[in-house]
Chain A
Amino acid sequence: MTTVTTNTPVACPGCLATPSEAVPVVVPDARLMLSLPTIHCQACIAKVEKALNAYPGIKNARVNLTLKRAVIDADPEINAPELVTLLSSEGFEAHELDPGALNDTATNMAGRDLLMRLAVAGFASMNVMLLSVAVWSGATDATRDLFHWISAAIAIPAVAFSAQPFFRNAWAALRAGRLNMDVPITLAILLALATSLWETWLSGHHAYFDAALTLTFFLLAGRWLDARARSAARSAAEELTALEVPRAWRLGADGASEVPVATLRVNDLVQVRPGARAPVDGIVTEGRSEVDRAMLTGETLPEARGVGDVISAGEINLTGPLTLRASAVGPDTSLQRMAALVAVAESGRSRYTSLADRAAKLYAPGVHVISALAFLGWLIWSGDMRVSLNIAAAVLIITCPCALGLAVPAVTTAASGRLFGKGLLIKNATALERLAEVDTVIFDKTGTLTTGKPHLSNWDRLTAKQRSVAYALAKGSSHPLSRAVAARATAERCEPALLTDITEKPGWGTEAQLDGQTVRLGRPDWLEMIPDGDGICAGLDMGDGVCRLLTFEDDARGGASETIEALKKLKVSVILLSGDRACVVSDFAFKLGVPEWHASMLPNEKAEFVDALSRDGRRVLMVGDGLNDTAALATAHVSISPAQALDAARAASDMVLLGQDLSPVAEAIVVARQSTRRIKENFRIATIYNVIAVPLAVAGMATPLIAALAMSTSSITVSLNALRVRERK
């Protein structure tokens, strides 16, 4: 029943290695993937699978609820958009995913590999423990030796297989001349096996086969938790990228054809339809329209563009169709160059060392020194090589970082699971720790604190007739202000006036005939009037030459004011930075209760502002969505961007906000502080346990029974402590 995911390879193995622009994005091997963000129950799974499997040409469809995704094997002529329409008629929101951008086989393989080793280690440690308990409870002489030999026969192959990840990491570190956590682990495991084997050979009393195996088991459990948390974040981040299937309309000799963006060349003629995003930098050769540059500049109001004007990749064409002659494509577009700059800025941040790394740096040399001293001390005092080596092994086993190796992954897994449930995705491993140190939060305005969709604010001042005319005119256009008028009118159940000859003048507005008079809705300067305010506005001409002003306001995103309240309660200072004009920003800041704001900021000014704060010793959390924020996002100590943000902005940030609501931002800081506290607590627990156990081991009193008890208790204690992050305070 699970053969769906195994029978067809995802693209070809070579595709993974080649750079993405060389890979044609045409539907590969007729395997389609759809993202289904709204499914949540058995009924949804059954309905989606039934609808898809009944569709002619589909061989097999299976829904994965964990990833909220459907994998479909179909005939090559089936394409994703028709399946999206099919599912939306069934009542499910669906988006096409680009299978080329989803690299989950590699991620899954790593997780499955660790799980397999974990299973082998678990099986072997249980059996060996069974034999060890018999020895501890009094088996002697030949029986004890037999049990030890059987233990050895199980433990040696099991360790050789299960502990490979540690061996490999330790070897890599040693070759590079460094010490990491895996070096003491490997040494402890190998020394435990070697001395136990020696003891068994000489029919000694103590053997540590069970310790070597449980050590491997607990540490692999930590590794697996770590891998699982990371792969969840990575697959979700990949999915966000895969959501944008990059296609463009190229004008050739035989008309327009849909091609992958990667195949566009300089001087190609590209058609950009209303509502689409410009795929390349270019010069308009035909058409007139308005473009939404909010993602790039933070400006809410669209700008007019005509023949000869320049358009950059990423700008959204709003009203009329445009034809561009491409002047820069692919990595040369201003959008991609910006993203590349961000990647450089990001490498500076990777210098942050996590708590676990700092602990490991102290820990690894520490245990080696103690163990070596114990060995030397006993060798000088007793002169017995066998006893000294036994004690050195006992010290290494008992100090081994079960708590350390398990403490951090357990806490971060619990914390990122809790935040994922709230709609916040953690991309970077050290993001939680950096977030816990934050004392300043900087928000971008357009698209972050606001929805970026304006709404009509002076509707009540219009007469009934004006309302119906405005509604009828607005219905004909996809301009954001028109849509705002139409939305308001629909909400108020307004009837549209009967207009004839409705035409859209791209870049200006809409006009139509009403009882022989021309009525118009559009830019105020088109209606020969100068707006008195600075806000976003449009004009309405009822055919009498008098222009009435419609004013608009940008809505605050859901949970914005609550988030700012909550942040103030956390003693974090809140700053608003925007590329928009001062009057708009100040009104908005006052409404939300943000004490400090700065308007008309250029992208580099934003980044410099963040940089200046960091130099003052402030730890800044930057929340932003546009290209104008990317530099600031990369400069800040830690950063969050919404899922609707530009690809470059999402790539630059450490966390991604999946939903529309902003409130997870404040919650994230609380959880981050909590989990850092838990990690430090866990280190303290591990230290206390070492302070008690190490002297016992050095004194030669650590029998295998004591070692097993101490190791298990400390591991279980730190895991339980980590689980406390899950519950609500």
Chain B
Amino acid sequence: MNVLAYLIPISLILGGLGLVGFLYTLKARQYDDPEGDSRRILSDTWDDHPKP
């Protein structure tokens, strides 16, 4: 049963990381234009070098 002492905190921390990640994307307004974002993937403008 001792293994639970590790597993429960680990599962909570991993889930919490996911939650924090989601809240970050929400704050950064990444859900404002779902339709446009799904199309922007098709753009090859920044394929060869990152956006400055």
Residues of A participating in the B interface, judged by any CB pair closer than 8 Å: 1-2, 5-6, 41-42, 45-46, 63-67, 108, 112, 115-116, 119-120, 123, 126-127, 130-131, 143, 150, 154
Contact = CB atoms under 8 A, between A and B. Distances in A.
B11 A130 contact: yes
Given A46-B43, A127-B12, A150-B8, A65 B51 contact: no
B19 A66 contact: no
Contacts of B28: 2, 6
A108 B32 contact: yes
A66 B23 contact: no
A337 to B, nearest CB: 39
Question: Interface majority SS on A: helix, strand, loop or mixed?
Answer: helix
For B12, B36, B43, which residue has the most chain A Cβ atoms within 10 angstroms? B36
A45 B29 CA distance: 19
9 contacts: A2-B32, A42-B43, A45-B39, A65-B35, A67-B33, A115-B26, A115-B31, A119-B19, A119-B26
A131 B11 CA distance: 11
Contacts of A120: 19
A102 to B, nearest CB: 14
Interface in B1-52: 1, 4, 8, 11-12, 15-16, 18-19, 22-23, 26, 28-36, 39-40, 42-43, 45, 51
B47 to A, nearest CB: 13
Contacts of A130: 11
A1 B51 contact: yes
Contact of A42 (B16, B18, B31, B39): B39
Contact of A2 (B1, B30, B39): B30
B29 A2 contact: yes
Contacts of B29: 2, 5-6
Contact of A46 (B1, B23, B26, B45): B45
A73 to B, nearest CB: 15
A64 B40 CA distance: 11
A116 B32 contact: no
A522 B12 CA distance: 81
A332 to B, nearest CB: 40
- Please provide the 6 A-B residue pairs with the shortest distance between their CB atoms, ordered closest to farther: A65-B36, A42-B39, A66-B35, A42-B42, A123-B19, A64-B33
Contact of B36 (A6, A64, A143): A64
A520 to B, nearest CB: 54
B33 A66 contact: yes
Contact of B34 (A46, A66, A116): A66
Contacts of B4: 143
B45 to A, nearest CB: 7
A116 B40 CA distance: 25
A164 to B, nearest CB: 16
Contacts of B33: 64-67
Nearest to A119: B22
A5 B43 contact: no
Nearest to B45: A46
Contacts of B35: 65-66
Contacts of A150: 8
Contacts of A127: 11-12, 15
Nearest to B19: A123
For A45, A108, A120, which residue has the most chain B Cβ atoms within 10 angstroms? A45
Contacts of A115: 26, 31
B46 to A, nearest CB: 9
Contact of A123 (B18, B39, B43): B18
Contacts of B26: 112, 115-116, 119
Contacts of A41: 39
For A41, A120, A127, A154, which residue has the most chain B Cβ atoms within 10 angstroms? A127
A94 B23 CA distance: 34
Contacts of A123: 15-16, 18-19
A66 B30 CA distance: 12
